[in-house]
Amino acid sequence: MTYLETAAQFYREVAETPQVGLCCVQSTPLQLPGLKIPLPMQEMNYGCGTTVHSMELGNQPTVLYVGVGGGLEALQFAYFSRHAGAVIAVEPVGAMREAAARNLEIAAQENPWFDTSFVEIREGDAFNLPVADSTVDIVAQNCLFNIFEPQDLTRALKEAYRVLKPGGRLQMSDPIATSQIPAHLQQDERLRAMCLSGALTYQQYTERITNAGFGQVEIRARRPYRLLDSQTYNLEEHLLLESLDSVSFKVAIPEDGACIFTGKTAVYAGLEPFFDDSAGHLLQRGIPAAVCDKTAAKLAAINPAEIIVTNSTWHYSGGGCC
C-alpha cells in the first residue's frame, strides 16, 4: 500500500471504533453559548488544536473543511453560518463520512438551532477538492496535512489556494517538529498516519505555505503537544513535537516577501514623537506596534539603538503593520 492508503485504512478503523485522544493530544472543544457537542463527536476529536477562530467567522462565511473526522469542527463552523450548504466537508474515507453523518444527526437532536443541511459531506480528497475556483471564504483542516509527504503537502496547499476567494483564509492546525524527524520515523507509514512522524519544522512548514502563494500568515497558537522519547522511537535524543494553529490569507505576496506574524512588536524609544521608516510603518514613541517578522528584522537593523523589537509570543490576533 502507499502511505495514503495506509492512512485511509487507519482512519477507517478509528471511524468504526473511536479511540479517545488518538493522534494528537485531545484538545478541549471550543465552548460556545447554546452549542452542545455530542459525546461521539468528542470521542472522535482527532485534532491537535483548533481551526475555528471566531474573529474570522463574521458574515456567515462559506467553509470548506478538508477531512471531516467525527464532524466536530464542521458543527462548530456551522454555528457561525446557519444556512444550507454553509459548510462543505470533504472526506475520502467512506466509514468516516458515515460516522460524521451519524454524529451530525445526533447534533441536530441536541441543538435546536442546527439542521443537518448546514453541513454537506462530499466524497473527495485534499488534492482534488470538489468545488470550483475562487468559491469559498475559508478552507480548514485539522491534523491532516502533516500526514502528507512534502510534495503532496504542496499539492494540497495549492489546491486550497485555488478554491479560496481573493482574500480568503486557510485555517490550519498541524503538528510541527522542533528538529528534523529522522528518516526511519518518516518512513513508518503507521506512525505517519498517527500524526507522529510526518511533521515538518516550523521553517519548512511556513515556507510551504508561502510558496503556495499565500501572502500573509498569522500564527494563532504554538504549544508543545507530544514527546518522541529516545528509547521508544530509537532516537539519539528526545524530540518534541508542537501544535501550530495558523491562518493564511490569499493575498498577493509583497515584493520583499510574505508577511508572517508571530506576535512580535516594535517600540520606538527615541526622542521624537514618531519614527517613520519611509516604508509605511509609523511608530509612536513608547507604544508597541504589532509587526510581522520581516518588518521586525528591518526595523531592528535600521535603528537598533532606538527601536526595541520584542520576541515572538506565537500568538497573533490582528492589528499588524502590513
Task: Please tell me the pTM assigned to this model.
Answer: 0.93
Q: CA nearest 249: which of 220, 219, 218, 221?
A: 218
Q: How many CA atoms lie within 13 A of 210 on its CB side?
A: 19
SS3 per residue for the chain: CCHHHHHHHHHHHHHHCCCCCCCCCCCCCCCCCCCCCCHHHHHCCCCCCCCCCHHHCCCCCCEEEECCCCCHHHHHHHHHCCCCCCEEEEECCHHHHHHHHHHHHHHHHHCCCCCHHHEEEEECECCECCCCCCCEEEEEEECCHHHCCHHHHHHHHHHHHHHEEEEEEEEEEEEEECCCCCHHHHCCHHHHHCCCCCCCEHHHHHHHHHHCCCCEEEEEEEEEEEEECHHHHCCCCCEEEEEEEEEEECCCCCCCCCEEECCCEEEECCCCCEEECCCCCEEEECCCEECCHHHHHHHHHHCCCCEEECCCCCCCCCCCCC
All structural domains of the chain, each given as residue ranges with its CATH number in brackets, are: 3-250 (3.40.50.150), 262-310 (3.40.5)
Taking 70 as the pLDDT cut, the residues of the chain under it are 18-30, 319-322
Per-residue pLDDT, 44:
83
Q: What is the pLDDT of residues 258-283, one digit of tens each?
A: 999 999 999 999 999 999 998 889 99
Give residue 48's identity as a one-letter amino acid code: C
The Cα–Cα gap between 39 and 37 comes to: 6
Q: Are the C-beta atoms of 67 and 44 separated by less than 8 Å?
A: no
Per-residue pLDDT, 322:
47
Q: Which residue shows C-alpha cell 489546491?
A: 159
Per-residue pLDDT, 27:
53
Give residue 316's identity as a one-letter amino acid code: Y
Q: CA nearest 146: which of 312, 3, 306, 309?
A: 3
Per-residue pLDDT, 99:
93
Q: Tally Cβ neighbours within 10 Å of residue 85.
A: 11
Q: Are the C-beta atoms of 114 and 108 separated by less than 8 Å?
A: yes
The Cα–Cα gap between 215 and 221 comes to: 19
